[in-house]
Amino acid sequence: MAFVLVNGAMRAFLRLQNTPTGFVSDNVLTLHMSVSLAEYEARGSYGRYLGQLEDRMGRIPGVQGVGFVQYLPLQNWGWTGFFSIPGRSPYLPGHEPRAERRFVTPEYFTALGIPIRRGRAFNFHDTSDSQMVDID
């Protein structure tokens, strides 16, 4: 009996490994970077820093794409944001739609081969002062 459970669990695990993630992970290097935000108190300075770093790293021979993200995909933590859809009736409390929120740089989706199905890609003109952009 125990063997069947282990065998069934193993099959489920192998199926899970073949489930598409929605991004390309082959030949991708990730690293954790800590930055003192005190150095970037001026509005927009941190975004400019990431843009310059992304540009410099993109010029390294052999690098095909560079992007930054607040939390790596498939991590079990981050921010969840509620949203509403214009023209639809309000949701009952506790049943509002929500989505995981991540801060990313404009080239993040390209670097991981994530297709944009609707909307447009972010760019460095998208700031906290500009109209919000939603990507699907």
Is 1 domain-assigned?
no
CA distance linking residue 27 with residue 14, whole number of Å: 21
Residue 7 lies in a domain: no
Is 55 a domain residue?
A: yes
Residue pair 135/119 in contact (Cβ under 8 Å)? The answer is yes
Q: Is residue 56 part of a domain?
A: yes
Fill in the amino acid letter for 3.
F
Would you say 127 and 109 are in contact if contact means Cβ atoms under 8 Å apart? Answer: no
Write down the pLDDT at residue 59: 94
Residue 19 resides in a domain: no
By residue range, what is the domain housing residue 105? 31-128
Predicted pLDDT at 2: 46
What CA–CA distance (Å, rounded) separates 46 from 39?
9
For the chain, how many structural domains are there in total? 1
* Burial of 107 per CB tally in 10 Å (0-12, 13-18, 19+): buried
Provide the pLDDT for residue 63: 92
Cβ–Cβ under 8 Å, residues 70 and 100: no
How much is the pLDDT for 6?
58
What's the pLDDT at 78?
66
Q: Is residue 16 part of a domain?
A: no
Angle at 96 between CA 128 and CA 120, to 5 degrees: 40
Low-confidence ranges of the chain (pLDDT < 50): 1-4
* Res 76: pLDDT: 64
Whether 12 is in a domain gets the answer no
Domain-located, residue 84: yes
Structure tokens at 47: 């975004």
